[in-house]
């Protein structure tokens, strides 16, 4: 089992550019989560999908952030346009009824 | 607002000693609690969990204690090893999906 796979591991982009983060959950997991981690705010849940359907997006900071899950094996988190305050580590996690959360290794985003 | 927090931000422990990491929570509706370990450059890794119908749960070298009366959670690590050096987070939820994480405790193991 390769675990939750995120790409890229690191992303440096200029302010105003579009950024797309990618996640492949563990096969068989029906829940997927996007988290953001910063020193100031710790780990925050951005959005939660169940069976590919967004259930709770109350943590998405603003309209610049969007997330999709077109199928059970792929999800994206997009920021457009990006701003320096979006700099953080973004984690994807997946779970199932019989298996708890498994986090990916994260994408470290730096917006300059 | 309701929050999950850790009492101490850092813990230094001698190799071989036992470690105790504490966590307070304020949401009385929380019924599921998890401890995570996060090493530098990695995502949080599941250590052990406990549901509110239990007071204690043991794993390999780790024990989680839950005191619902005072809304307190602790993680005990037996015979702490250098590989245990990491940031430890407690997390709680009342709906099995929306985890609220504490601020984290940095554990440093002294050789």
What's the pLDDT tens digit per position in A31-69?
999 999 998 888 999 999 999 999 999 999 889 999 999
Contacting B residues, span 77-96, partner chain A, CB-CB under 8 Å: 89
**Inter-chain contacts counted by CB atoms under 8 A, chains A and B:** 41
Q: Whose CA is closest to B64, among A42, A43, B72, B95?
A: B72
Q: Give, in order, the Cα–Cα distances in Å from B13 to each of A9, A13, B37, B80, B109.
A: 32, 40, 16, 8, 5
Query: How close is the nearest chain A Cα to the Cα of B82, in Å?
Result: 21
> What is the phi/psi pair of residue A26, to 5°?
-70, 135
Cα–Cα distance measured from residue A68 to residue A75, given in angstroms and rounded to the nearest whole number = 6
Q: What is the pLDDT of residues B76-102, one digit of tens each?
A: 999 999 999 999 999 999 887 788 898
What is the arithmetic mean of pLDDT over A2-9? 95
Residue B66 contacts residue B30 (beta carbons within 8 Å): no
Q: What is the pLDDT of residues B55-84, one digit of tens each?
A: 999 999 999 999 999 999 999 999 999 999
Residue B36 pLDDT exceeds 80: yes
* B98 shares contact with chain A (CB less than 8 Å): yes
> What is the band of B8 on the pLDDT scale with cuts at 50, 70, 90?
low
Query: DSSP letters along A49-82, please?
Result: EETTEEEE-TT--STTEEEEEEETTEEEEEESS-
Query: How close is the nearest chain B Cα to the Cα of A99, in Å?
Result: 11
What residue of B is the nearest CA neighbor of A6?
B43
What is the arithmetic mean of pLDDT over A66-85? 97
């Amino acid at each position: 089992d390769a675990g939750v796979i995120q790409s890229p591991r690191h992303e440096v982009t200029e302010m105003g550019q579009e950024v797309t983060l990618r996640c492949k959950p563990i096969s068989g997991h029906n829940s997927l989560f996007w988290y953001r981690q910063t020193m100031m705010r710790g780990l925050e849940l951005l959005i939660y999908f169940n069976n590919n359907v967004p259930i709770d997006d109350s943590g998405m900071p603003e309209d610049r952030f969007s997330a999709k899950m077109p199928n059970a094996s792929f999800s994206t988190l997009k920021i457009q346009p990006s701003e320096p305050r979006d700099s953080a580590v973004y984690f994807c996690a997946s779970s199932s009824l019989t298996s708890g959360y498994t986090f990916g290794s994260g994408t470290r985003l730096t917006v300059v | 607002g309701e929050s999950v927090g850790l009492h101490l931000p850092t813990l230094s422990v001698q190799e071989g000693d036992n470690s105790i990491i504490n966590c307070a929570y304020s949401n009385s509706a929380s019924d599921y609690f998890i401890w995570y370990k996060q090493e530098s450059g990695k995502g949080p890794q599941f250590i052990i969990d406990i549901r509110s119908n239990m007071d204690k749960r043991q794993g390999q070298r780790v024990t989680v204690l839950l005191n619902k009366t005072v809304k307190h959670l602790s993680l005990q690590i037996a015979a702490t090893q250098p590989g245990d050096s990491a940031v430890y987070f407690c997390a709680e939820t009342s709906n099995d999906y929306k985890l609220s994480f504490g601020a984290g405790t940095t554990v440093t193991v002294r050789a």
